[in-house]
């Protein structure tokens, strides 16, 4: 008979998660936050939620970068040595390994969102934040999956982004950084996954224009709001310039 699990202090688990994050032990951060959910339930504090989000982002960013490097090397090798060579087989094998790791991580966070975090999320920013996360990780899955799976994950990503955007329009200020971050990533989905720069530009421009028009310098919280949102507005503007150029070149 296995011994009963001792209930830890929540503050201790948060401290360990924060410590792991500082040490760039991102898998350990995820483990500690999952322990919080197991022992204390799904609603997370903003600090806990941010620790989880940053950890998954770092894990997946590293894997996605590795996948892109291997994919580039595979294409270069195919140009240098047309046909099925031993080197190409080895490169593809390594790419498959990275894909499996990335798939496992993305599916893990989507499951955690669907099973625990979204059902317990409060109306407003928390729901938008988690739906955006689901859209992001389904988008990552769509980026490297084969055709049938790509369409399935793209559909899941689109559904999550649409739900998040609808909720954001109803509950969040146009300058709210979570709403702007959602618009940024949703527009990237249309550009990268759906290959529709027109829809990407439309969504990004609406978000940018609505944010700028809603600026109220007399608002006591204006300084902090604009500080948090400025970097995202700049990214939206950069993408708009880039994608508009693509559409002009395609004419």
CA distances from 41 to 18, 56, 111, 116, 120 (A): 19, 20, 15, 8, 9
State the Cα–Cα distance between residues 158 and 218, nearest whole angstrom: 37
**DSSP helix, strand, coil percent of the chain (3-state; round to 5):** 80, 0, 20
User: Which pLDDT value is given to residue 3?
Assistant: 55
- Which domains, from first to last, does the chain contain? 8-120 (1.20.190.20), 123-214+227-251 (1.20.190.20)
Per-residue pLDDT of 207-236, as tens digits, reads 999 999 988 766 666 566 677 799 999 999
Whose structure tokens read 């809603």? 214
Mean pLDDT of 147-176: 96
pLDDT given for residue 1 in this prediction: 46
pTM over 0.85: yes
Long-range own/partner contacts, residues 66-74 (CB < 8 A, 24 or more apart): 66/98, 67/95, 67/98, 67/99, 67/102, 67/144, 70/94, 70/95, 70/98, 71/95
Instruction: Give the chain's length.
Output: 251
The per-residue pLDDT for range 101-136, each reduced to its tens digit, is: 999 999 999 999 999 999 999 999 999 999 999 999
CB 243, CB 188: distance < 8 Å: no
Could you give the count of Cα atoms lying within 13 Å of 228 in the half-sphere of its Cβ? 13
Mean pLDDT over each residue of the chain, to the nearest integer: 92
Q: Residue holding tokens 């490097």?
A: 69
Question: Residue 11 to residues 7, 17, 34, 47, 48: CA-CA distances in angstroms?
Answer: 12, 10, 14, 11, 10
């Amino acid at each position: 008979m296995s011994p009963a699990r001792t209930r830890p202090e929540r503050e201790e688990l948060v401290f360990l998660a924060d410590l792991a994050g500082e040490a760039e032990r991102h898998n350990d951060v995820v483990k500690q936050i999952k322990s919080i959910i197991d022992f204390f339930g799904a609603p997370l504090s903003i600090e806990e939620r941010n620790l989880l989000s940053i950890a998954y982002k770092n894990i997946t960013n590293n894997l996605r970068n590795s996948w892109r490097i291997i994919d580039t090397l595979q294409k270069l090798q195919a140009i240098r040595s047309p046909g099925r060579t031993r080197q190409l087989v080895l490169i593809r094998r390594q790419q498959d390994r990275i894909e499996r790791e990335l798939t496992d991580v993305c599916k893990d966070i989507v499951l955690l969102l669907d099973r625990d975090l979204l059902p317990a999320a409060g109306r407003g920013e928390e729901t938008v934040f988690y739906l955006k996360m689901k859209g992001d990780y389904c988008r990552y899955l769509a980026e490297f999956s084969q055709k049938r799976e790509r369409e399935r994950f793209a559909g899941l990503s689109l559904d999550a982004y649409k739900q998040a955007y609808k909720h954001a329009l109803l509950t969040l200020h146009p300058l709210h950084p979570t709403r702007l971050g959602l618009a940024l990533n949703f527009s990237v989905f249309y550009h990268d996954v759906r290959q529709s720069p027109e829809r990407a530009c439309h969504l990004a421009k609406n978000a940018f224009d609505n944010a700028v028009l809603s600026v109220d310098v007399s608002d006591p919280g204006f300084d902090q709001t604009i500080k948090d949102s400025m970097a995202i507005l700049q990214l939206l503007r950069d993408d708009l310039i880039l994608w508009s150029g693509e559409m002009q070149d395609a004419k």
